[in-house]
Chains A and B, each alone.
Chain A
Amino acid sequence: MAIVKLQNVTYKYPLTDTPALQNINLQMNEGEFVGVVGPNGAGKSTLCYTLAGFVPHFFKGEITGTVEVAGQESSNSNLHEWVLNVGLAFQNPFNQISGAKYTVLEEIAFGLENIGIPRDEMKLRVQDAMKLTGIHDLADRSPYSLSGGQQQRVALTSILVMQPKVLVLDEPTSQMDPIGTREVFGVIRTMAEKGMTVVLVEHKVEWIANFADRVVALHEGRVILDGKPREVLTSDALTDKGFGISRYTSVARKAKEMGLWKTKNLPVTLDEAVEGFKK
């Protein structure tokens, strides 16, 4: 069942002429894991802000069309109600950390305090969320003393703890090593399997191919492709537009020109590439 519905959404930031989003139509189902790809400036972060209600409630500007989550319309809601629908982890965790709290534990409880969750329940939810993302041993540290990768885990945890219906993540692992990335993608996948809808902006396309159910490609504020990860990520429509392409895809494309790749479909993941090149 569609929980997110964007209809004809066009949006301009204040004092700008070109829309950052143009006529976006998207529906997402409960528990669906949707990857969003595109070059810088394509509108990925703006789409995240729109889902999270920051557009237009915080950024102002002109919006037309409708953004609906779980039957509620964003323009008719307040941001403080909307956080229960959609949680957003920012691209730069530094911009998300409140600055009002001395420890990671308090930082993660901050959102729950603001929506008036009773103390006992709050403690439990914070502990559970910290275990899930593997940061329980950072509980007493200052959020500002952490590495970039650790800050990203804190930012993710402080959103997960709110248990939003839709989880929006803007490059949540950009400062993590591969093991950290794998763990975090695992956690996100689990949340989707439990019914949370996940929208994830990511440049690392092999990760999307391995974890997402569906991929939306944005270019110059428009959706240019929307479909199964492998179909979207190997499409010729992405060529020369600044999209990140998996090395497996690009090497297979070259091999195909040389007559060395004989399978019809191009690969995105290592396993697909191994299978194709073995033939």
Chain B
Amino acid sequence: MRIEIDDIQFSYPAGVQALRGISLTIESGEQVAIVGQNGAGKTTLVRHFNGLLQPASGEVRIGDWSTREHSVAKLASRVGYVFQNPDEQLFSRDVKTEVAFGPQNLGYPSEQAEALVNEALGMTELSDKTETNPYDLSPTWRKMVAIASVVAMDTPIVIFDEPTTGQDAANIARIANVIKILRERGKTVITITHDIDFCAENFERVIAMSQGKVLLDGKANDVLGQEDVLAATFVDPPQLTRLGKRLGLRQVVKNEDEFLAVYQTGADSCSC
């Protein structure tokens, strides 16, 4: 399902102009990371995708729906949104009820809803915690409950707002795995993140925002290699991109495999 954003502007009531004319198209099944400094407008932008915010001017279309013409509840069948802080979205007394709430509300037949819930619990490694009260779980596992409750809605578009904040290496790997499964199923995944290494390892397209505008938009390697431009929005390139650059590698690398491959050819040619 395609997302089309046509020249949108948005200001908060206090007068802060958060979006200053943004146009974007995100195709069905794309994996997109949005990066940029605090206050760049990342969260404001994605909250337009499910109608939580409406633009002052311009238009957002999710498939054939304009977000002006459909309620947030209706848009929830197309766009799932995982909040940055799980405590802003969890309210049920046990994990299974929490995860089942979304699909039940979207009106899936009960058998299908049950299957979606079990699948989401499996994907997030929560199958052994279904009876637990979400607030008896550690913040790490509460994050997985928040993710499961959105994934279970089986929407074509899933948005993650800062999924790796405060997570340890094991949980970041779990989240990366959920994103990988969603990609294999042809879902569109949009993630806001400050974790630029996570971005480099899991996303094909990167949008860098600054002061309410799109600064860069393109293939991950093309965007993440532009150290000088990224500096304007306080983003440091990924660690291995920086290392590659300091070593003078011939091409931009973003993860371990790319680094080792390019470094090795360089090293081989030196030794001959």
A binds B: yes
Interface assignment of B23: CB less than 8 Å from any CB of chain A? no
Neighbouring B residues of A61 by C-beta, 8 Å:
none
Of B162, B166, B168, B259, which is within 8 A of A242 by CB?
Answer: B168
Interface assignment of B272: CB less than 8 Å from any CB of chain A? no
Give bound CA distance, A171 to B234, whole Å: 20
Contact with A along B153-174 (1 / 0, CB 8 A): 0000000001001111111000
Given A147-B39, A149-B38, check contact A277 B263 (CB 8 Å): yes
- The answer to whether B165 touches A175 (Cβ under 8 A) is yes
Given A251-B259, A270-B242, A274-B247, check contact A203 B37 (CB 8 Å): no
Neighbouring B residues of A179 by C-beta, 8 Å:
37, 234
Of A91, A147, A246, A260, which is within 8 A of B166 by CB?
Answer: A91
Interface assignment of A187: CB less than 8 Å from any CB of chain B? no
Interface assignment of A134: CB less than 8 Å from any CB of chain B? no
Give bound CA distance, A148 to B14, whole Å: 18
Interface assignment of A248: CB less than 8 Å from any CB of chain B? yes
Interface assignment of A1: CB less than 8 Å from any CB of chain B? no
Min CB–CB distance A21 → chain B (angstroms) = 15
Interface assignment of A80: CB less than 8 Å from any CB of chain B? no
Give bound CA distance, A26 to B236, whole Å: 35
Nearest to A206 among chain B residues (CB) is: B239
- Report the tally of A-B residue pairs with Cβ distances under 8 A: 102
Neighbouring B residues of A255 by C-beta, 8 Å:
260, 263
Min CB–CB distance A232 → chain B (angstroms) = 15
- The answer to whether B247 touches A246 (Cβ under 8 A) is no
Contact with B along A242-277 (1 / 0, CB 8 A): 111111101100110010100000000010011001
Contact-size category for B = 35 or more
Contact with B along A172-198 (1 / 0, CB 8 A): 001111111000000000000000000
List 23 interface pairs A-B (beta carbons < 8 Å), by A numbering.
A39-B170, A40-B139, A40-B168, A41-B140, A171-B166, A175-B84, A180-B38, A242-B170, A243-B169, A244-B169, A245-B169, A247-B240, A250-B256, A251-B259, A251-B260, A258-B264, A260-B264, A270-B239, A270-B242, A270-B243, A270-B246, A274-B246, A277-B263
Given A40-B167, A147-B38, A246-B239, 18 other A-B contacts at CB below 8 A? A40-B168, A40-B170, A94-B85, A148-B165, A150-B38, A171-B166, A175-B38, A177-B36, A179-B234, A203-B166, A247-B256, A248-B243, A250-B256, A258-B260, A258-B264, A260-B263, A270-B242, A277-B243
Binding site for B on A (CB under 8 A): 38-41, 91-92, 94, 145, 147-150, 171, 174-180, 203, 206, 242-248, 250-251, 254-255, 258, 260, 270, 273-274, 277-278
